[in-house]
C-alpha cells in the first residue's frame, strides 16, 4: 500500500506532458496596423445582405496585399448565406466584433467558415461580442434532426489562435481543428442544443493549449482526436454537456503527452477514452502519458470511463489501441447514478489490456442509491493501481473486478449546484441566446465547498 502511494505521488510530481514553447500567432496583435473593414468591400450590417462575398473580397483586395493586416467585421448583425473558405493566408488576423447569423435559406457546404493552410493568424473579438449564430434550431425544424454544416474549421494550419468568441447553435460541431500545429484556443463560449452531434471543440493537433472554454451541449465538450501530441486542456466548464474525451480511435492512433486539468462538469460526462478494435494484425496504435486531474463534478454521468469497445464494437477480431501511463487524480463531487454508471468503469481491450493506469484521490459518491447500492465501479482488463484496479490485482485474461459501495465516504455530502449551472438544456426547436449570460474569463476554477478529503482506503 505504502509503495503504491509513493509511486502515485512520484507520478504526480513529474508532470511534463503538456504543450511547450509558443502557441498561437507569431506576430503580436499590437504590431498589426492595417484594418481591412468588410464594410468597404460590400459588407452591410443589415442581417440580410450575405456577408460571405464581402469577407472574401476584403481578404483578396486588402488583407492579401497588406501583410500583417486585420480583416475587420465591426459591431452589427450580418447575414451569412454561403460558406466562406480562406486558403494559404499567412500573417493576418480576423477581428469579429459583430454577430454573424447563418440564415437557414443559405447554401452551405460542410462548414460555415473554413481556414485551410493559414499560419501566424488569430481569429478573435476585441469587444467580447464577436459571435456566430448557426440558428441550428431552424435546421432542426426543417429536417427533424441534428446535422448539417460545422461552424468553424481549421485545416492544416499552424501558429494560430481562436479566442474571445461566442459560438452559438451550430447545426453540427462548433469548432474543429484538423492537423494543427502550435494552436491556442481560449476564452470561448459555446451554447448548443442538448442533443448529440453538437460537439464543442474537436481537435487534432500537435502542441496546443485549450483553456477557459465553456460548453453547453449534449455531446463532447472538448475532444482530443488522433493525432494529438503535447497538449494542455484546462479550465473547461462542461455545462449539461457530453464529456471531455479522447477518441474515437481505431487504427494507427498516436495520442501522447496530454495534460487535462481544472475541469468542472455539471450533469455531464466527465472523462472518456473511446477506442475500437481494428483488424487483426493491424497496428492500432497507442494513447500514452496522459494526466487527468482536478475535476469537480455535479451529478456526472460516468466519471472516468474507458471503453475500448466503443459503439459495441466488441465482436471485431483484432488489435486494440494500447493505453498506457494514464493517471486520474483528484476528482471531487457527485455522480448521478453509480449503480448503472459507476464513477470508474473500464472496459479494457482483450488484445491490448490497458497498462500503468492509476487512480488517486477520488472523493465521490452517487446521488442515487439503487437496491441499497451507491456505486458499482467496474474494471474489465487492466493493470494499474487504485479503485477497481486495486493494488496487487494483476491482469489475467477475463479479469474482472467490481467494487460495490453502499455508503458515502465519511464526510462526503452531495454538492450544491454551482451558480453557473444550466438547469434546463437549451431547446431543440427554439432560438438559443447569444449574449446572455455574459461570459467572463478566466473561468473561475475552485472547490465550491466540495469536500477535499481524499479517501484513505
Ligand X SMILES: *[C@@H]1O[C@H](CO)[C@@H](O)[C@H](O)[C@H]1NC(C)=O
**Catalytic residue positions?**
219
Report if residue 227 touches ligand X, rule: CB under 6 A. yes
- Please give the Cα distance from 55 to 65 (Å, whole number): 15
- Phi then psi for residue 142, to 5 deg, are -70, -35
String of contacts with ligand X for each residue 264-303, x by CB under 6 A: -------------------------xxx------------
Question: SS3 of 80, please?
Answer: strand
- Please give the Cα distance from 84 to 243 (Å, whole number): 30
Report if residue 223 touches ligand X, rule: CB under 6 A. no
- Please give the Cα distance from 190 to 199 (Å, whole number): 9
Contacts of 156 (CB under 8 A, 6+ apart): 116, 117, 178, 179
Report if residue 27 touches ligand X, rule: CB under 6 A. no
The residue among 406 and 440 lying less far from ligand X, judged by its C-beta, is 440
- The x, y and z cell numbers of residue 342, run together, are 459507476
The window from 66-74, 226-234, 363-371, 390-398 that contacts ligand X (CB under 6 A) reads: 226-234
Which of 155, 157, 245, 257 is in the footprint of ligand X by CB under 6 A?
257
Which of 82, 189, 322, 405 is in the footprint of ligand X by CB under 6 A?
189
Report if residue 399 touches ligand X, rule: CB under 6 A. no
CA torsion, ordered 106, 109, 110, 115, to nearest 10 deg: -100
The residue among 140 and 378 lying less far from ligand X, judged by its C-beta, is 140
String of contacts with ligand X for each residue 113-152, x by CB under 6 A: ----------------------x-----------------
The window from 64-72, 390-398, 415-423, 448-456 that contacts ligand X (CB under 6 A) reads: 415-423
User: Cβ atoms within 10 A of the Cβ of 264, count?
Assistant: 26
Which of 80, 93, 186, 193 is in the footprint of ligand X by CB under 6 A?
186
Which of 325, 335, 381, 385 is in the footprint of ligand X by CB under 6 A?
325
The residue among 170 and 405 lying less far from ligand X, judged by its C-beta, is 170
The residue among 47 and 49 lying less far from ligand X, judged by its C-beta, is 47
Which of 339, 395, 435, 441 is in the footprint of ligand X by CB under 6 A?
441
Report if residue 216 touches ligand X, rule: CB under 6 A. yes
Beta carbon of residue 383, minimum distance to ligand X (angstroms, whole number): 14
- Please give the Cα distance from 82 to 258 (Å, whole number): 37
Report if residue 215 touches ligand X, rule: CB under 6 A. yes
The residue among 250 and 361 lying less far from ligand X, judged by its C-beta, is 250
Report if residue 232 touches ligand X, rule: CB under 6 A. no
Burial letters 67-89, b for 16+ CB under 10 A, else e? eebbbbbbebbbbbbbbbebeeb
Beta carbon of residue 294, minimum distance to ligand X (angstroms, whole number): 13
Residue at grid coordinates 460590400: 42
- Please give the Cα distance from 268 to 257 (Å, whole number): 25
The window from 141-149, 293-301, 368-376, 419-427 that contacts ligand X (CB under 6 A) reads: 419-427
Contacts of 271 (CB under 8 A, 6+ apart): 243, 244, 245, 260, 263, 292, 295, 303, 304, 305, 328
Beta carbon of residue 289, minimum distance to ligand X (angstroms, whole number): 4
Report if residue 47 touches ligand X, rule: CB under 6 A. yes
The residue among 14 and 457 lying less far from ligand X, judged by its C-beta, is 14
- The distance from CA 450 to its chain's CA centroid, rounded to whole angstroms, is 24
Window 236-255: residues binding ligand X (CB under 6 A)? 239, 250-254
The residue among 62 and 246 lying less far from ligand X, judged by its C-beta, is 246
Which of 23, 187, 297, 366 is in the footprint of ligand X by CB under 6 A?
187
Beta carbon of residue 258, minimum distance to ligand X (angstroms, whole number): 8
CA torsion, ordered 194, 368, 304, 320, to nearest 10 deg: -90
Beta carbon of residue 47, minimum distance to ligand X (angstroms, whole number): 4
Burial letters 190-220, b for 16+ CB under 10 A, else e? bbbbbbebbbbbbbbbbbbbbbbbbbbbbbb
Pairing of strands 150-155, 175-191: parallel
Contacts of 319 (CB under 8 A, 6+ apart): 251, 277, 278, 279, 280, 281, 282, 283, 284, 351, 352
Question: Which residues here bind ligand X, judged by CB under 6 A?
Answer: 14-17, 20, 47, 77, 101, 103, 135, 163-164, 186-187, 189-191, 206-207, 212, 214-216, 226-227, 229-230, 239, 250-254, 257, 289-291, 325, 327, 420-422, 437, 439, 441-442
Amino acid at each position: 500500500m505504502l509503495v503504491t502511494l509513493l509511486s502515485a505521488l512520484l507520478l504526480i510530481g513529474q508532470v511534463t506532458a503538456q504543450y511547450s514553447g509558443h502557441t498561437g500567432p507569431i506576430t503580436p496583435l499590437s504590431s498589426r496596423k492595417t484594418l481591412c473593414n468588410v464594410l468597404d468591400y460590400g459588407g452591410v450590417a443589415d442581417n440580410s445582405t450575405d456577408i460571405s462575398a464581402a469577407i472574401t473580397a476584403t481578404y483578396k483586395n486588402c488583407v492579401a496585399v497588406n501583410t500583417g493586416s486585420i480583416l475587420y467585421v465591426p459591431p452589427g448583425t450580418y447575414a451569412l448565406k454561403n460558406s466562406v473558405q480562406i486558403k494559404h493566408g499567412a500573417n493576418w488576423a480576423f477581428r469579429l466584433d459583430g454577430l454573424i447569423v447563418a440564415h437557414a435559406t443559405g447554401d452551405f457546404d460542410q462548414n460555415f467558415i473554413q481556414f485551410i493552410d493559414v499560419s501566424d493568424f488569430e481569429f478573435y473579438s476585441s469587444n467580447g461580442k464577436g459571435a456566430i449564430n448557426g440558428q441550428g434550431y431552424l435546421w432542426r425544424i426543417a429536417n427533424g434532426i441534428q446535422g448539417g454544416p460545422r461552424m468553424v474549421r481549421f485545416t492544416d494550419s499552424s501558429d494560430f489562435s481562436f479566442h474571445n468568441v461566442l459560438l452559438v447553435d451550430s447545426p453540427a460541431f462548433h469548432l474543429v481543428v484538423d492537423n494543427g500545429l502550435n494552436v491556442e484556443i481560449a476564452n470561448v463560449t459555446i451554447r448548443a442544443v442538448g442533443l448529440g452531434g453538437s460537439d464543442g471543440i474537436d481537435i487534432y493537433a500537435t502542441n496546443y493549449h485549450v483553456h477557459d472554454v465553456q460548453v453547453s451541449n449534449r455531446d463532447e465538450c472538448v475532444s482530443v482526436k488522433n493525432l494529438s501530441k503535447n497538449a494542455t486542456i484546462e479550465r473547461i466548464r462542461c455545462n449539461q454537456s457530453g464529456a471531455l474525451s479522447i477518441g474515437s480511435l481505431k487504427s494507427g492512433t498516436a495520442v501522447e503527452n496530454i495534460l487535462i486539468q481544472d475541469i468542472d462538469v455539471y450533469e455531464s460526462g466527465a472523462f472518456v477514452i473511446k477506442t475500437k478494435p481494428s483488424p487483426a494484425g493491424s497496428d492500432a496504435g497507442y494513447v500514452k502519458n496522459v494526466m487527468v486531474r482536478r475535476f469537480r463534478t455535479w451529478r456526472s454521468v460516468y466519471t472516468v470511463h474507458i471503453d475500448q469497445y466503443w459503439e459495441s464494437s466488441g465482436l471485431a477480431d483484432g488489435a486494440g489501441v494500447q493505453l498506457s501511463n494514464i493517471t486520474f487524480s483528484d476528482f471531487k463531487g457527485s455522480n448521478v447514478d453509480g449503480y448503472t454508471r459507476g464513477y470508474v468503469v473500464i472496459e479494457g481491450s482483450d488484445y491490448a489490456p490497458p497498462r500503468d493506469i492509476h487512480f488517486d484521490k477520488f472523493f465521490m459518491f452517487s446521488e442515487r442509491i439503487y437496491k441499497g447500492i451507491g456505486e458499482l465501479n467496474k474494471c474489465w482488463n487492466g493493470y494499474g493501481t487504485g479503485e477497481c484496479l486495486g493494488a496487487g490485482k494483476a491482469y489475467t485474461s477475463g479479469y474482472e473486478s467490481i467494487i460495490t459501495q453502499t455508503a458515502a465516504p465519511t464526510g462526503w455530502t452531495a454538492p450544491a449546484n454551482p451558480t453557473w449551472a444550466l438547469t434546463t438544456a437549451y431547446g431543440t426547436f427554439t432560438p438559443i441566446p447569444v449574449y446572455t449570460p455574459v461570459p467572463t474569463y478566466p473561468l473561475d476554477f475552485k472547490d465550491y465547498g466540495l469536500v477535499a478529503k481524499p479517501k484513505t482506503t
